[in-house]
């Protein structure tokens, strides 16, 4: 047998290929490290989840868009030290171009908005569900890909866009049977941090880096955060001031500290009043520690969390009013969120909310002997053309067919037998009631 290939070792799950008699070894049947296959049962769950994403996007009047998973690396080169840009799945293609498997979708959205330029009327509301990639070193057994539902609004300034996106997230949770006692959404604004940095006259250019560092609150210890902040040049009193304000969870308290004319306070008060009107106020709470880890957020930011505190953030997003100018274009105010396919499934499992998604087939058509295979094809074809899902089964014993019918939850078993066919009839068995009767083949529906 050939020595295990590097990919087998790379996989981290040394798969011993099956040894056929001639000694050749079969290809490693596992997918590349950190990636998943979707066999039928898993694919049914994924399709069900994505259908919920689509249904919410429809009622929110968003239009679907799509992009290549492959993008120019330049779209994601940012200097703020984000994890996502330090784990780019990047490479040089055969034309010598620097490309990536995209780690997120927002930059592609921005690229298309710029490309569409004047031909799009604002505000525009776009959504997509797409696979995103990251390349982590061997050390962590974490996934290298996941699917994300993205909803973004361009050209809607102020908190109206944020309040629309929050409704979308909450509609999704409600569709899945999740309640506001299972999940909450922490809401804050990066303008809170901006106000604090101003109070300590910290230069603007440090803003993004500070955000990326303080986003690690809860993941890194307080000392590590303080050390990183001091390293980029913040005074220890500024560091203490930042950490103190970021621990606030009451909007009135924030107003006391920052004053009422600070934009952050005005935005948040408006957002919470809209929330009352939408009827989802009990889902959201102010929490100044929310900054999110992406460099380009400029205003309101939010993330959904399980109130038991067992899981990572379920989804997150925020306002990014200055992203387009980083690509050399006119800025358009924008706001969006990403909703991954992994944590939500863990939450549904926790809450016993995974739906029963077994196969459902309308009819099995089965010729009772070989010479009736032709007629069975015509019966199956006429049912399929009426839109019924039909499994045409042949070369099997009747006993197997009954087991199969149970396995795939078939509604009916249509038996094509010689004597019936000669009278232009077929035998129909309703599998739930065991009822059995003959039907004219031409009138079967």
Ligand X SMILES: CC(=O)Nc1cnc2ccccc2c1
Residues that bind ligand X (CB under 6 A): 103, 132-134, 143-146, 340, 342-343
Nearer to ligand X, 343 or 425 (CB): 343
Q: How far is the CB of 248 from ligand X (least distance, A)?
A: 29
Phi, psi of 154 (to 5 degrees): -110, 140
Shortest approach of ligand X to residue 270 CB, angstroms? 31
Which position has the token pair 């949770």?
173
CB of 143 to ligand X, least distance (A): 4
Nearest CA to 229 among 249, 257, 303, 221?
Answer: 221
Write down the least CB distance from residue 317 to ligand X, Å: 14
Please state, in angstroms and rounded to a whole number, the distance separating the CA atoms of residues 201 and 188.
21
Q: Are 148 and 132 in contact (CB under 8 A)?
A: yes
Closest listed residue to residue 191, CA positions, set 121, 124, 271? 271
DSSP 104-124: -SHHHHHHHHHHHGGGSPSSE
Shortest distance (Å) from residue 400 CB to ligand X: 40
Between 134 and 412, name the residue whose CB sits nearer to ligand X: 134
CA atoms of 280 and 171, how far apart (whole Å): 9
Query: Helix (H, G, I), strand (E, B), or coil: what is residue 346?
Result: helix
With respect to ligand X, which residue has the nearer C-beta, 103 or 367? 103
Question: What Cα–Cα distance (Å) separates residue 65 from each residue in 291, 296, 346?
Answer: 27, 21, 27
In terms of CB distance, is 310 or 396 closer to ligand X? 310
Output 340 or 375, the one with its CB closest to ligand X: 340
- If phi > 0 it is left, if psi is from -120 to 50 it is alpha, else beta; for residue 177 that is left
In the complex, least distance from residue 134 CB atom to ligand X, rounded to whole angstroms: 4
Q: Which is nearer to ligand X, 76 or 173 (CB)?
A: 76
- Taking the least distance from each CB to ligand X, the nearer of 321 and 346 is 346
Q: How far is the CB of 14 from ligand X (least distance, A)?
A: 23
């Amino acid at each position: 047998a050939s020595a295990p290939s590097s990919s087998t070792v790379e996989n981290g799950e040394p798969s011993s290929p099956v040894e056929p008699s001639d000694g050749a070894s079969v290809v490693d049947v596992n997918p590349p490290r950190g990636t998943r296959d979707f066999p039928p049962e898993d694919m049914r769950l994924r399709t069900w989840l994505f259908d919920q994403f689509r249904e919410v996007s429809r009622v929110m009047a968003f239009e679907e868009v799509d992009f290549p998973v492959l993008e120019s690396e330049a779209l994601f080169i940012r200097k703020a030290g984000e994890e996502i840009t330090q784990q780019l799945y990047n490479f040089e293609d055969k034309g010598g171009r620097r490309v990536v498997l995209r780690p997120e979708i927002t930059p592609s959205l921005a690229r298309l908005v710029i490309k569409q330029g004047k031909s799009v009327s604002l505000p525009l509301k776009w959504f997509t569900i797409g696979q995103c990639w990251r390349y982590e070193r061997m050390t962590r057994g974490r996934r290298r890909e996941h699917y994300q539902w993205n909803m973004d609004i361009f050209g809607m300034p102020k908190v109206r866009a944020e309040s629309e996106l929050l409704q979308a997230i909450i509609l999704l949770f409600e569709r899945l049977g999740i309640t506001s006692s299972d999940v909450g959404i922490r809401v804050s604004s990066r303008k809170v941090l901006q106000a604090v940095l101003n109070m300590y006259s910290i230069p603007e250019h440090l803003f993004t880096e500070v955000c990326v560092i303080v986003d690690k609150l809860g993941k890194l210890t307080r000392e590590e955060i303080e050390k990183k902040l001091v390293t980029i040049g913040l005074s220890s009193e500024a560091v203490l001031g930042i950490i103190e304000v970021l621990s606030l969870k009451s909007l009135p308290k924030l107003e006391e500290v920052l004053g009422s004319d600070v934009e952050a306070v005005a935005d948040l008060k408006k957002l919470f009043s809209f929330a009352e009107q939408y009827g989802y106020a009990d889902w959201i709470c102010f929490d100044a520690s929310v900054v999110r880890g992406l460099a380009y957020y400029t205003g309101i930011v939010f993330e959904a969390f399980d109130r038991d505190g067992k899981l990572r953030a379920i989804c997150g997003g925020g306002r990014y009013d200055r992203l387009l100018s980083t690509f050399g274009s006119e800025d358009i105010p924008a706001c969006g969120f990403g909703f991954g396919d992994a944590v939500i499934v863990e939450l549904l499992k926790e809450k016993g909310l995974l739906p029963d998604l077994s196969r459902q087939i309308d009819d099995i058509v089965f010729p009772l002997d070989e010479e009736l295979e032709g007629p069975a094809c015509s019966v199956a074809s006429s049912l399929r053309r009426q839109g019924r899902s039909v499994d045409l089964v042949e070369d099997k014993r009747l006993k197997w067919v009954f087991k199969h019918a149970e396995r795939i939850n078939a509604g009916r078993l249509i038996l094509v037998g010689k004597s019936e066919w000669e009278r232009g009839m077929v035998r129909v068995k309703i599998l739930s009631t065991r009822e059995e009767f003959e039907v004219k083949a031409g009138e079967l529906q």
